Structure 1
Amino acid sequence: MMTATLAGCIGPRPAPPASVAVVPPPAWRTALGTGAPIRADWWNAFGDPVLAGLVARALANSPDLGSAAARVEEARAAVRLARAQQAPLVSAGVPLTDGQTVSPLGRPSDAIGVQPLVQASYDLDLFGRLRQASAAARAQALASEGARDTVRLAIVSGVATGYITLRSLDQRLRVARDTLAARAEALRIARRRSTTGYTSNLELRQAEGEYHAAEQLVPQAQLLVTRQENALSVLIGDAPGPIARGLPIDRLLAPAIPDGLPADLLRRRPDLFQAEQTLVATDRSLDSARAAMLPGVSLTGSAGVVLSTALANPIGVFSVGGSILSPIFDAGRLRAQADAAAARRDAAAFAYRRTALTAFREVDDSLAGVLRSGQQAIALAAQRAALAGALRNASNRYRAGYSSYIDQLDAQRGLLTAELTLIQAQADRLNAYVTLYQALGGGWSREDVAVTTR
């Protein structure tokens, strides 16, 4: 059985179990899953209405989601076709005969004859070949719905990740501009001190080099922002262009994770549901292939009337019959088809197990990412505060003539590195929440936790 909770994934790892059972419970899609829609507002937990608007546009305009929805409609049409194969087939025809006929007295005469006819045929399906094929089509349709929901979840997660990355790049650009302004001020002071002969030209050249080093950071950050805007625009189904901004990255909310998240939330993952239904479809296809090796019984019948200018009254005709068709020698065709269906069923079973194990790994990684990236962000924030204080002290000592310019330069470099690393850690932490939402199949709510823990 699945582990009871997911909270232990971020603590010390227990010893691995002897085996991992991934067989779905009987009521797989009743309380949670694709049958119950994915929570439609988990991205609002970050507290940014602009992000919510981008997600809505992506869900409305994404060509990938439209293509997945078209495949769902195709699968549903296949279900209707499979059901129609189990119904009787009725056809009608009205052949027209114009030519010489024989009269009741045995003399030839020119006449026009019409014979409307209705024919019906029905396969009794004694061994369930058609029923199993219909069940396979239904399972395949459910698998296509799981694939559509997988695409939907990936689009939402991609938009959220792309927006968080964009806001982190905006913050990097702001830091680059602030650093450039600080280096410009340092260069001004160095030039004044060099002009008055208070310092040598070495400090001036060092200040010029650091200014130009900060200067190249600005266009580099601007390029990254433009590329991220274009990528996000395409993801939401628009032409490349600017993206609206909301909250800065340091004001985006970190959603609260309940203690003891139940592992049954993994049941709502659409990719896991897709793998399960694919397994069901291949199993039903195997049953249908095996039933095709058994005799088939069908009934046929026809009824109609004969109308002719050579006859005084219409003549009614009808026929009823049955047939049994059983393969005697087919050079192993049906056996090969059954073996191929069995191999596909086995491959689907292994794919389902791999998908389930991947789901456990992704949740474990996401929970660890949320915890560790949060710890890293706290440590980096403390480091940044310390280095900012060191820079103030170094700048004051340099202006008072108690220390060299190299001390201030080292403090500036350290603060810049800490600020950029802190921005990346903040983005990594928020993206870890997005990954966790995706790994759990679309987030969680109090109702979800209550349902899965009962």
Structure 2
Amino acid sequence: MRRALLLPAMLAGCTLPGPRAEAPPGAAVTPPAGWRTPLNPGGTIRAGWWEAFGDPVLASLVTRALAANVDIQIAAARVEEARAAEALSRANLLPQIGGTVAETQGQTLSPFGTPSRAIGAQPGITASYDLDLFGRLRLARAAARAQLLASEGARDTVRLATAAAVASGYVTLRALDQRLAIARATLAARAEAQRIARRRYETGYSSRLEYRQAQAEYAATAQLVPAAALAISRQENALSLLLGDNPGPVARGLPLDAIRLPPIPDGLPADLLRRRPDLFQAEQTLVAADRSLDSQRAAMLPNLALTGSAGLVLSTALANPVGVFTLGASILAPLFDGGRLAAQEDAAAARRDQAAFGYRRAALQAFREVDDALDGVRRTGEQADDLARQTAAAQGALQNASNRYRAGYSAYIEQLDAQRSLLTAELSLVQARSDRLASYVALYQAMGGGWSATDVRGAGQ
């Protein structure tokens, strides 16, 4: 299991550890005060976080996206590229052996002065080996290895973002479905109100104004239906893109108000943030930059290389083959390069500092996202509860207003106001429930995916 190397120290308020004293100052961050905020005490969360919502269709959509999403496939290809680069850096540590077969042609003079044509060949083997006395190649390999791990973290970040996008997109789709159902139900009620207003107008019980008001309200509600249908079509196309499919309809599961609200444990320790793949990516990017800096410094020191070759000389002019070999060593040291190596070292140091501050920024961003998601879960829940009470009251008010209007005790405008209030409350309640579920999805994403009660207890120790 990959474990973060720098995050625990960072979470403890220490400066980011660096191999040199000149590590950039200010690269320290501590978790916010009161990080453990009780929510739903005693709750547990399943590891497969998208399954915690209790909708099998949602779970199947996330699974499909993780298998066929194009962005994930691109990130996986980048991992393979980084793996090949790491293999290349590993190969640089091994001896290089090659073979040659050189053909020669020429003329020779016999003892009697008679020229003759000679044909020969010189097969041989050459070998070279860099002793890497100061670890230049080993540090380059360590940098390539860290870069490979960083690319894997980037791939996992894309996977997590894709799963969260599918889950939030599905929630938005079900909210749009419910908005369309509300619009159609309201349109049917408006049609009935228009029919009653017309009958009362034709029989002389009401004025033409009430009938015109009913007509205008029906038309205003009718335009909500195609708008909601268009939004549904676009949302389905967006989900199809995440699934790696052509635009088309998307399967539905539970309605919005039946999707389960997962319980949240008593507290979410800051140590759980090391599960985030983007933090792991930032950490390994810092490690790679640090090793590259050390490798660049080692390039300024002398380098010892061994070379050798062995082979045979075969020729028609020789009675027997002749064996030849060479063995040598070379020491290379920079004497004057116009400041190139020093400039390369400065550039590597600057990249390392950028990676260090990038790591700090990623950690601060992680804290912000978790706090935003926790506040979103809490506040949208309160808003949804208040809107549910408002909707119930608006339904009762509409019933009373309709009865009074039919009995002739009030004007049509009273019923019209009650209808408008109910429609606004119902649409706002749908949006609040959608935002609440989206906040749960954002919390899962901010914490790096699902977790269990065991993870929470272990991280808090």
Q: TM-score, normalised by structure 1?
A: 0.91
Distance 2:11 2:335 in 1: 52
Q: Measured at CA, do residues 102 and 393 of structure 1 come closer, stay the same or move farther in structure 2, by a change above 3 Å?
A: farther
Q: Does 1:79 align with 2:86?
A: yes
Distance 2:152 2:336 in 1: 40
Q: Is the 8 A contact 1:136 1:282 kept in 2?
A: yes
Paired AA for residue 425 in structure 1: A
Aligned to 1:425: 432
Q: Does 1:393 align with 2:400?
A: yes
Query: 1:83-162 residue pairs with structure 2 within 5 A?
Result: 83-101=90-108, 108-162=115-169
Query: 1:304-315 residue pairs with structure 2 within 5 A?
Result: 304-315=311-322
Q: Offset at 1:450?
A: 3.5
Query: 1:366-377 residue pairs with structure 2 within 5 A?
Result: 366-377=373-384
Distance 1:253 1:21 in 2: 39
Q: Show CA shifts across 1:199-242 (max 9, x none).
A: 11111111111111111111111111111111111111111111
Q: Measured at CA, do residues 372 and 57 of structure 1 come closer, stay the same or move farther in structure 2, by a change above 3 Å?
A: same
Query: 1:427-442 residue pairs with structure 2 within 5 A?
Result: 427-442=434-449
Aligned to 1:382: 389
Paired AA for residue 402 in structure 1: Y
Distance 2:136 2:109 in 1: 48
Q: Measured at CA, do residues 76 and 2 of structure 1 come closer, stay the same or move farther in structure 2, by a change above 3 Å?
A: closer
Aligned to 2:247: 240
Aligned to 1:257: 264
Q: Measured at CA, do residues 104 and 209 of structure 1 come closer, stay the same or move farther in structure 2, by a change above 3 Å?
A: farther
Alignment partner of 2:133: what SS? coil
Q: Offset at 1:300?
A: 0.7
Aligned to 1:342: 349
Aligned to 1:331: 338
Q: Offset at 1:109?
A: 2.7
Q: Measured at CA, do residues 404 and 105 of structure 1 come closer, stay the same or move farther in structure 2, by a change above 3 Å?
A: farther
Aligned to 1:360: 367
Q: Is the 8 A contact 1:103 1:311 kept in 2?
A: no
Aligned counterpart in structure 2 of residue 172 of structure 1, from 170, 173, 179: 179
Q: Does 1:320 align with 2:353?
A: no
Aligned counterpart in structure 1 of residue 280 of structure 2, from 273, 285, 288: 273
Q: Is the 8 A contact 2:27 2:356 kept in 1?
A: no
Distance 1:369 1:109 in 2: 95
Q: Is the 8 A contact 2:157 2:278 kept in 1?
A: yes
Distance 2:155 2:113 in 1: 71
Paired AA for residue 152 in structure 1: R
Paired AA for residue 306 in structure 1: V
Q: Is the 8 A contact 1:103 1:310 kept in 2?
A: no
Q: Measured at CA, do residues 86 and 216 of structure 1 come closer, stay the same or move farther in structure 2, by a change above 3 Å?
A: same
Query: 1:37-48 residue pairs with structure 2 within 5 A?
Result: 41-48=48-55
Paired AA for residue 47 in structure 1: G
Distance 1:410 1:267 in 2: 53
Q: Is the 8 A contact 2:47 2:451 kept in 1?
A: no
Q: Show CA shifts across 1:4-56 (max 9, x none).
A: 9xxxxxxxxxxxxxx994499xxxxxxxxxxxxxx872101111111111111
Q: Is the 8 A contact 2:10 2:30 kept in 1?
A: no
Paired AA for residue 148 in structure 2: A
Distance 1:104 1:91 in 2: 39
Q: Measured at CA, do residues 2 and 177 of structure 1 come closer, stay the same or move farther in structure 2, by a change above 3 Å?
A: farther
Aligned to 1:31: none
Paired AA for residue 424 in structure 2: T
Paired AA for residue 259 in structure 2: L
Distance 1:106 1:316 in 2: 28
Query: 1:170-209 residue pairs with structure 2 within 5 A?
Result: 170-209=177-216
Distance 1:73 1:451 in 2: 34
Distance 1:180 1:414 in 2: 15
Paired AA for residue 433 in structure 1: Y
Distance 2:315 2:113 in 1: 15
Q: Offset at 1:107?
A: 6.4
Dislocated runs of 4+, deviation >3 Å: 1-4, 19-24, 101-108
Aligned to 2:420: 413
Q: Offset at 1:98?
A: 2.5
**Larger mean Cα displacement after TM superposition, 444-453 or 252-261:** 444-453
Aligned counterpart in structure 1 of residue 409 of structure 2, from 402, 407, 410: 402
Alignment partner of 2:306: what SS? strand
Q: Is the 8 A contact 1:154 1:438 kept in 2?
A: yes
Q: Is the 8 A contact 2:180 2:228 kept in 1?
A: yes
Distance 2:368 2:66 in 1: 27
Q: Aligned-pair RMSD on alpha carbons?
A: 1.8
Q: Show CA shifts across 1:132-160 (max 9, x none).
A: 11000000000000000000001000000
The alignment covers a number of residue pairs equal to: 426
Q: Is the 8 A contact 2:107 2:115 kept in 1?
A: yes
Q: Show CA shifts across 1:280-329 (max 9, x none).
A: 00000000111111111111111111111221111111111111111111
Q: Offset at 1:377?
A: 0.3
Q: Offset at 1:105?
A: 8.9
Q: Is the 8 A contact 1:95 1:114 kept in 2?
A: yes
Paired AA for residue 121 in structure 2: V
**Larger mean Cα displacement after TM superposition, 243-252 or 311-320:** 311-320
Alignment partner of 1:116: what SS? strand
Aligned to 1:292: 299
Aligned to 2:235: 228
Q: Measured at CA, do residues 69 and 23 of structure 1 come closer, stay the same or move farther in structure 2, by a change above 3 Å?
A: farther
Task: Provide structure 2 residue ranges, at least 5 long, that are not aligned to the other structure.
Answer: 1-8, 13-25, 32-45
Aligned to 1:450: 457
Aligned to 2:40: none
Q: Is the 8 A contact 2:95 2:129 kept in 1?
A: yes
Alignment partner of 2:319: what SS? coil
Paired AA for residue 399 in structure 1: R
Q: Measured at CA, do residues 182 and 104 of structure 1 come closer, stay the same or move farther in structure 2, by a change above 3 Å?
A: farther
Q: Show CA shifts across 1:154-205 (max 9, x none).
A: 1000000100000000000000000000000000100110111011111111
